[in-house]
A and B are shown apart, each in its own frame.
Chain A
Amino acid sequence: MSATIRRGRRRRGWSSQERGIISGPEWQQPRIRWAVRGLQAVTLLFLIIAGLGPLLWMMKASVTPTQDTIRWPMALWPNGIDLGQLATAWSRTHIDRYLWNTVVIACGSWLSQIVVATTGGYALSVLRPRFSGFLTMVVIATLFVPPIVLLVPLYLTIVDVPLIHARLIDNYWAIWLPAAASAVNIVLVKRFFDHLPREIFEAARVDGAGPFRLFWSIVLPMSRPILGVVSVFAVIATWKDYLWPLLVIRDPNLQPLSVRLPTLQSTTDLGVFIAALAISTIFPIFLFLIFQRLFLNGGGLGGAIKG
């Protein structure tokens, strides 16, 4: 039964646009068919070992007693299972606190990026003041400056913020605010707003909606797809960040997980340490599995590059 389904699917596939490099007649040749299938199986095996292997190893080692992991690192099945390591990592090494710090930092970065990207994109795309062309240009110009040029002066700016003369070291605003200065976000959102139908805005205006009403009740509800892309990439990027939080958050009690993990290594039992690594990986993987489509359709990345 599955064979008939497969054949039907295949025939449909070949006749329409779905064909790739290999043609229908070529696929009929057993030699080619088996060679291609073999290559695909090898590819899948390679991806499972390379992509999933290290993660599975980490999951296993996080519940394997340390001595087992050190003596037989590649043993498929541990002698004993020690779930206590996960609990120890969670409570005794304060992973719970650092994870919470990471969550707070990620939420704040997300909110500031969304606020700046939507209001800025709205002003540049829909309201279009006279100087919007110039503004768009200087925003995009920052894309061409490698982040490294910003590192030291941005750090000094955080130490003493101009105009308000505040010191933002050990303050999460030091991460939230610079994260929002993302030209990629502005470009993505602006481009999305550019493609919204102008007639709707005109109609809303005729009905007496002002710019704030138009933004809140019409533009924002229509832009869920792009907000999803910006949100997911904002959260993942913050979760992955290491250097910047290392520089601006000095107080260990406030540091996110990524900054704490390297210092924990020397003082923590190996099994507990790998359990801590596993705990800090679960959330990004979870997010990826839920929003696979956003990541894999290249919505954020490919779009940004082609733009």
Chain B
Amino acid sequence: MSSHADALPTTRKALRHRRLRLTRDSVSTFVFLIPMLIVFGLFAWFPILRGVVMSVQKTNLVDAPTWVGLDNFARVLADPQLGIAVANTVWFMLLALLFGFPVPIVLAVLMSEVRRGRGLYSALAYLPVVIPPVVSVLLWRFFYDASPHGVFNTILGWVGLGPMPWLQNAGTAMPSIVIEATWANAGAAVIIYLAALVSVPTDLYDAADVDGASILQKIRNITMPYLRSVIAVTLILQLIATAQLFTEPLLFTGGGPNNATLTVLLLIYRYAFTNSLGGDYGMAAALSLLLAAFLALFTAGYYWLTRSWSTSQ
């Protein structure tokens, strides 16, 4: 690449006036690029391509990889666990949408009207985000103790509700994980919404006051439309993140009880790293690609949908 830049005639470079003439010294430019090229080449670009290639190969760490065509994909799609994992992941995304999506918006709107000490509110909301996920999960696993003396069951006992099985029951395990995940991540979304709320032009509110709008009308007709683009972006990022749920089910339940919290990512992890017959890297790569392709299609469709939605207004 350096020879390529060397060959560049200096006159042409001089014509690009926004660029510094330092480019003449292309050797030093290359020196500055080396760390980025090495690190991205070896640990980003190469593995991405390799992942695509691996999905059509049979790879183990002993023999040379052999071409198997779409066999990995066929085996992934034939795996009865795939349906369970996809259903669980979609169930988690829906639950996360139900809990994790409105909570930060409501909190941010309430917090935006705080005049003094808003920093305290923000700091409290953001605090769980900086705690290592492993610590939160292990702590919450103790909170979710299913005995009547568990932390949450003690609190439920105060109001006369019976002990809940939390993580030990197939029906309540996933909602329990969602509550913890919402607690751990909502703060980041609150901060984003708060920043957007502060940037709402105040003359819009002034104009609404002149027209005699009530507070709720102002929220509905000014605040929410103004937040719409931020909400759209945050929502899709949240959905992409929830589709890749891993640490929580691994540490809370290991995918149990009875595969009720087996997610797609956990399945990929099982294919590659906890297979007693040695890692099936081809299957793991094939499922990773399927998930990535689905997320890409999903994002594109979502983008198209929200675009027409906001222009129709």
B-contacting residues of A (Cβ < 8 Å)? 6, 9-10, 13, 17-23, 25-26, 32, 36, 39-40, 43-44, 47-48, 50-52, 54-55, 57-58, 70-74, 112, 115-116, 119-120, 122-123, 126-131, 135, 138-139, 142, 144-157, 159-163, 177-178, 180-181, 183, 186, 198, 201-202, 205, 210-212, 214-215, 236, 239-240, 242-243, 247, 257-259, 261-262, 265, 270, 273-274, 277, 280-281, 284-285, 287-289, 292, 295-298, 301-302, 305
Contacts and interface: CB of A to CB of B under 8 A. Distances in A.
B110 A43 contact: yes
B76 interface: no
B130 interface: yes
Given A21-B112, A74-B155, A153-B51, A130 B8 contact: yes
Report the contact-size class of chain B (Cβ under 8 Å from the partner).
35 or more
Interface of B: 1, 4-5, 8, 13, 18-23, 25-26, 28-30, 32-36, 39-40, 42-48, 50-51, 54, 59, 61, 107, 109-116, 119-128, 130-136, 138-140, 142-143, 145, 149-151, 154-155, 183, 187-188, 191-192, 195, 197, 202, 205-206, 209, 215, 218-219, 222-223, 233-234, 237, 240, 244, 246-247, 251, 265, 268-269, 272-273, 281, 284-285, 288-289, 291-292, 295-296
A252 B132 CA distance: 19
Contact of A295 (B133, B191, B209): B191
Contacts of A161: 42
Contacts of B36: 116, 119-120, 123, 139, 186
Given A123-B32, A280-B132, A181 B295 contact: no
Contacts of A215: 32
Interface SS of B by simple majority: helix
A50 B155 CA distance: 14
A40 B131 contact: no
Nearest to B233: A305
A122 B33 CA distance: 9
A52 B149 CA distance: 22
A243 B125 CA distance: 26
Given A47-B121, A277-B138, A142 B132 contact: no
B28 A181 contact: no
26 contacts: A19-B206, A20-B197, A21-B223, A25-B209, A39-B110, A52-B127, A54-B183, A73-B145, A119-B33, A127-B32, A146-B291, A148-B291, A148-B292, A150-B51, A152-B51, A159-B61, A161-B42, A177-B43, A180-B43, A205-B22, A242-B132, A258-B134, A284-B130, A288-B126, A301-B191, A305-B233
